Structure 1
Amino acid sequence: MLGVAGPALAHNVLVSSNPLAGSSVETGPATITLTFDQPVNGGPGLNAVSVVSPDGGHWEGVGEPTVRDNVVTAQLRPLGPAGEYTVSYRILSADGHPVTESLKFTLTKAGSGTPAPASEIAAANPAATSTAGGTADGGGGVPIWVWILGAVVLLGGGVFLALRGGVKEDSR
């Protein structure tokens, strides 16, 4: 064996949500709760949650989501129209990479709330307006598979040279 494998680093995975992904609720929740398989890194500007109604209105409350270990909680405004709501989130994973995903739930009975003005959402949570179009790997930098492939090629080249015995000297 050439080496010992270290612990695998993996992005956080959503294991539960309230409301549940794909569920139908009669009354709008006051908060969105996202539970992950690993702790989430917390701090100003690191995590964002947005909630968008079928008509494009934003329903997230003022302020950033709170992080407690592996649970992220975001306050909501009272919901408005009935229909499918999209919860988009961006968190800073335990391994230091951003994770951006979304889930949907359906409000079956219209509420009486009004959506947040765009200026309020941008000022309170600037990242919330950009979460819907992101990618799970953060959308920037070199993908991890490129680094892994490079390491495998270098390791393979080293093994090849070691087994080959190096360069033979010319006999004169």
Structure 2
Amino acid sequence: MRRRVGLTAFVLLFSLVAAVFGAASATAHSRLVSSDPADGANVATSPPAVTLTFNEAIQESFAVLTVVGPDGNFWQQGDPSVVGPAIKVNLRPLGPAGTYQINYRVTSADGHPVEGKRSFTLTAAGTGTPGPSAQQAADDESDGLPIWPFIVVGVVVLLGGGGVVVWMSRRPA
């Protein structure tokens, strides 16, 4: 009986370690193939929109496309739209000359998030009015789920499993 419990505990532990450390990463995610304006392009006038095109269709849910100017403010106007492999967001007329950073996060067809950055440079200042501060928006976002509940659950599961192994391996009176 003790041998069976020990073997069962070993198999469970081995399976857990193999599942956590042996999982292969997926490599079939969408990838960005082009942007308009092109990455690193110099533009003299404000483009009406930013469009990113991927190698395959992307999901509409959770798509984010922002443009942050050299002044630290958002310059996109409205929500992005997704059509097949492309995501597009309209721009306000741009303001200060300098580098504008395009930030994106989309969900590929296989459900995995894909994110990145591109940039272009406005060579002549425009007269546009910026949107809200990108820094203020980042400060307003929550930090997400806390990790401590997951740690507590993990410890309880491990202690409970250990208790079951000890209880099952005790000798009958």
TM-score normalized with structure 2 length = 0.61
Give yes or no for the alignment of 1:54 onto 2:42.
no
Q: How many residues align?
A: 114
Shift, 1:11, TM fit: 1.2
Q: Aligned partners of 1:118, 1:84: CA distance in 2, in Å?
A: 16
SS in 1 for 2:104: strand
* Structure 1 residue 28, shift from structure 2 partner: 1.1
Runs of 4+ in 1 over 3 A off after TM superposition: none
| 1:95 aligned residue | 110
Counterpart position of 1:41: 59
CA shift at 1:117, angstroms?
Answer: 2.7
Larger Rg: 2
Letter in 2 for 1:14: L
Q: CA RMSD in A?
A: 2.3
**1 or 2, which has the higher helix percentage?**
2
- Matching residue within 54, 77, 94 for 1:79: 94
What whole-Å deviation, never above 9, does each CA across 1:2-37 have from its counterpart, x for those lacking one?
A: xxxxxx851111101100001100001111000000
- Where structure 1 has 5 or more consecutive residues not aligned to the other structure, the ranges are 1-7, 131-172
CA distance in 1, matches of 2:104, 2:53: 12
Q: Deviations over 1:36-81 (max 9, x none)?
A: 00101113xx10111011110110102x211111011111111100
Give ranges in structure 2 of 5+ residues lacking alignment.
1-25, 142-173
- 1:14 counterpart residue number: 32
For residues 14 and 87 of structure 1, the distance between their equivalents in structure 2, rounded to whole angstroms, comes to 13
CA distance in 2, matches of 1:54, 1:118: 11
